[in-house]
Amino acid sequence: MWRDEVVTYDVSRRDLTVLWRTLGDADAVHGLYYLVMHGLFRWSGDVDPLLVLRVPSVLAMGAAAAGVALIGERLAGPRAGTLAGLVFAVLPSVQRFAQEGRSYAMVCALVVWATYALTSAVGSTRAAGLTSAVAAQEGRARRAWWLYGALLLVACLLHEFAVLALAAHAVWVPRAARRRWAVASGAVVVFVAPLAVVSERQKAQVDWLYANPWTYAGAVAVCLLGAGCAASLRGRGVGGAPAGALVRLALPLLVVPTTLLLLCAPVKPLFVDRYVLYGVAGLALLLGAVLDRASRGGRGRASVAVVAAGAAVAALLPMTLHMRTPAGRLDDATSAAHAIRAAGREGDAVLYLPLRRRVWSLAVPGAADHLRDIALARSPAASATLYGTEVPAGVIARRMRAEPRIVLVTDPSGGRDEEDAREKAKRALVAERRFETCRTWRGRGARVIVYALPGHC
């Protein structure tokens, strides 16, 4: 597990009352997901918790791949749909979040199926105006619009940035269906608004975000790849169907949510690829249509398309395998927890710098039970917070000076960017060089260091 998964693991297994209080303090944006996972952990009993944590994401991405294939079939034919579903399944971002215990795979699946429901709703709405069986078509259209709104609402409640899919859908919806789409999307916005208000009060949780030029450049490159695919399809048929409908749906789904988050950067950086993961469904649809068209251009072009697809899969294989190792995440919380368990002696002090690194000790229950957390005021569960609460800076400094041995759990930077008074006090006492370094464990994104006064190692 990495740190975000540990938060899922810890918060979801709390008593419902404590879980509800926790959401009032932090992570309300993931509240519904934690409640779903709480139910799964309660239901699963003694099943391996890591399996319970990740299986929902695996199943969700499988459902998303099926949804992408059905959208492609509806808009461009069976072959294009099948290829789009296969492309979706091998995309690196899909591979990553299919095996991660967070909400993003579920959100992606729900947005994809909401998009499929939207195509059904628009088709039924059109048919109602063209056929004599108006009542039957109206019934189908009404059910499809209800399904569209319900799926997108649940997606937004799992993570509110799913609401950006509405902006992408707005580009595609034809004039005849805009009134009904406006009603459905308006209802979604109204029901999501309370969550947005609560999460706005917790905006300090995204203070870590910054405008990373490499991340932004990668997002722009993916959008340009999609635009290039769309340009190659314009004016051409795909699988016997016009390509325009697929392009008008897929390209905005890829580009619009990403662009909206990127445009927030001058005011407040908010872009993280997982927040708009569902956009890759648009890229998969475009690539599937391109592969379909290429495979129909005679034996020579079909062979080139097969070779190119095989080469792309082979090129992605090292990245796919890398994602299945601890090095594929920002940190390895499980290894850090084992290092904490192995560090120090019974009764030694432990200090987390910064306090949110306390989450590493939660990856393995009881990992820090033999140590005394000298900065802790109330544990994460007792305080209904993600990382617990700590005593004032002066108390931390006094306790540190009284300890002959301290196990420091920190990140590679040693918390040097932390401005909180408590973190400054910890950092200052460590920098006084009163302590000798007895042993150091270095892992992915984490450090566990045993300090002691001279002669106490």
pLDDT of residue 241: 60
The rounded distance, in Å, linking the Cα atoms of 205 and 218 is 24
The rounded distance, in Å, linking the Cα atoms of 233 and 229 is 6
The rounded distance, in Å, linking the Cα atoms of 311 and 252 is 28
Domain boundary among 276, 301, 328: 328
Q: Number of folded domains in the chain?
A: 2
* 126 and 85 part of one domain: yes
Angle 12-13-18 (CA atoms, 0-180°, nearest 5)?
80
pLDDT of residue 238: 60
The rounded distance, in Å, linking the Cα atoms of 164 and 108 is 12
* 310 and 351 part of one domain: no
Angle 68-99-192 (CA atoms, 0-180°, nearest 5)?
65
* 342 and 398 part of one domain: yes
Identify the residue with better confidence: 316 or 279: 279
Is 181's pLDDT higher than 70? yes
Task: Kindly provide the residue ranges of all beta strands, DSSP E only, lying in 249-385, ordered along the sequence.
Answer: 349-353, 372-373, 376-378
The amino acid sitting at 433 is R
The rounded distance, in Å, linking the Cα atoms of 264 and 351 is 36
* Tokens representing residue 137 in the block: 């078509």
pLDDT by residue (tens digit) across 434-454? 888 999 999 999 999 999 998
* 184 and 266 part of one domain: yes
pLDDT of residue 135: 65
Average pLDDT estimate for 172-177: 90
Taking Cα atoms as reference points, which of 95, 94, 106, 111 lies closest to residue 59? Answer: 106
pLDDT by residue (tens digit) across 201-212? 888 888 888 888
pTM, entire model: 0.92
pLDDT band at 130 (very low <50, low <70, confident <90, very high): low
The rounded distance, in Å, linking the Cα atoms of 129 and 109 is 31
pLDDT band at 125 (very low <50, low <70, confident <90, very high): confident
pLDDT by residue (tens digit) across 29-49? 999 999 999 999 999 988 898
Is 286's pLDDT higher than 70? yes
436: how many CB neighbours lie within 10 A of its CB? 13
* 381 and 317 part of one domain: no
Across 47-61, 67-81, 237-251, 423-437, least confident range = 237-251
Percentage of the chain with pLDDT > 90? 71
pLDDT of residue 128: 59
pLDDT of residue 354: 92
Angle 336-342-351 (CA atoms, 0-180°, nearest 5)?
65
Across 168-172, 359-363, 373-377, 428-432, least confident range = 428-432
The dihedrals phi and psi of 211, each to the nearest 5 degrees, come to -80, 90
Percentage of the chain with pLDDT > 70? 94
pLDDT of residue 298: 63
Domain boundary among 328, 346, 372: 328
Q: Which range marks the domain in which residue 319 is found? A: 3-328
Q: Is residue 457 part of a domain?
A: no
* 133 and 268 part of one domain: yes
* 159 and 187 part of one domain: yes
pLDDT of residue 127: 65
Site of tokens 């005593």? 391
* 297 and 371 part of one domain: no
- Helix axes of 16-25 and 3-12: crossing angle, nearest 10 degrees: 130
Average pLDDT estimate for 246-261: 96
The amino acid sitting at 19 is L
Identify the residue with better confidence: 95 or 235: 95
Domain boundary among 303, 328, 353: 328
CB 332, CB 444: distance < 8 Å: yes
Q: Residues 6 or more apart from 444 whose CB is under 8 A from it?
A: 326, 327, 329, 330, 331, 332, 335
Average pLDDT estimate for 412-429: 88
* 391 and 254 part of one domain: no
Render 185-252 in DSSP notation, one character per residue.
Answer: HHHHHHHHHHHHHHHHHTGGGGTT----HHHHHHHHHHHHHHHHHHHHHTT-EETTEESHHHHHHHHH
CA atoms within 13 Å, Cβ hemisphere of 188 = 31
pLDDT of residue 350: 96
pLDDT of residue 245: 87
Taking Cα atoms as reference points, which of 118, 140, 60 lies closest to residue 250? Answer: 118
